Amino acid sequence: MKSPRPEQPLAVRITHWANVPLLAVMAASGLQILAAFPEMGPKGAPARWYPFQDWTPPSWMRAGGWLAGARHLHFGLAWLFVANALVYVVWMAVTGEWRRRAFQPGRDSRNALQTLAWYLRLRKSPPEQELYNGLQRLAYTIAIVLGAVEVLSGLALYKPVQLSLVAALFGGYDGARAVHLLGLVALVAFTVGHLVLVLLHPRALASIFTGGRRS
């Protein structure tokens, strides 16, 4: 028989809260780097499909002060960001905790749609759920995948020649650059949604500090 686990075990709480400043400073230093050349696509061939072409982030969104400072900050903190993510992923795998968190299409698709219907007021009651509903599992799993995309596209930008195979995944250096920025936009969208929903469900907010109920 399994011993009861809290909703948010200590390892989850630690990596979650470590990730907050890390992701924030990675994003802010990344935007400072972007400000040096806020255009996507190679010189002479700007990417017309890119929706944020020539958008210079305002200074309050940036960290690192200038290009060299921001690059040092970005490439220094990247280690901690990746290390924290690895601790999380390995811990999930070793403890089997991922089973109640990761989105599994066969198990969770129907529940995700029902939850969405409830949020859209197309359904009178929420579907039954365990720790998370299907929509939460989908959102949190997408966030992890986005983090991996950011790391891979970042490596492609850092070493487009030595790691040319990684760069090729994104169609080369300029493709990786667009993916790196669009991935950030998606992570920001996730974070906004995450904050809104957690404020609507204060018990979830408490559990990421305290661990929550054991079950």
Residues that bind another protein (CB under 8 A): 21, 25, 33-34, 36-37, 39, 42-45, 63-73, 75-77, 79-80, 158-164, 172-174, 177
Distance of closest approach, residue 69 Cβ to another protein, in angstroms = 3
The pair of three-digit structure tokens given for residue 171, joined into one six-digit string? 């169609």
Collapsing DSSP states into helix, strand and coil, what is residue 8?
Answer: coil
Distance of closest approach, residue 26 Cβ to another protein, in angstroms = 12
Nearest to 191 by CA among 37, 26, 59, 53: 26
Collapsing DSSP states into helix, strand and coil, what is residue 18?
Answer: helix
Distance of closest approach, residue 87 Cβ to another protein, in angstroms = 13
* Closer CB to another protein, 173 or 190, in the complex: 173
* Closer CB to another protein, 52 or 190, in the complex: 52
Dihedral (Cα; 184, 189, 192, 197), 10-degree rounding: -130
Distance of closest approach, residue 34 Cβ to another protein, in angstroms = 7
Residue type, 153: S
* Closer CB to another protein, 77 or 151, in the complex: 77
Distance of closest approach, residue 153 Cβ to another protein, in angstroms = 13
* Closer CB to another protein, 37 or 119, in the complex: 37
Under 8 Å between Cβ of 212 and 206: yes
6: DSSP letter: B
Give the chain's largest Cα–Cα span. 64
* Closer CB to another protein, 12 or 70, in the complex: 70
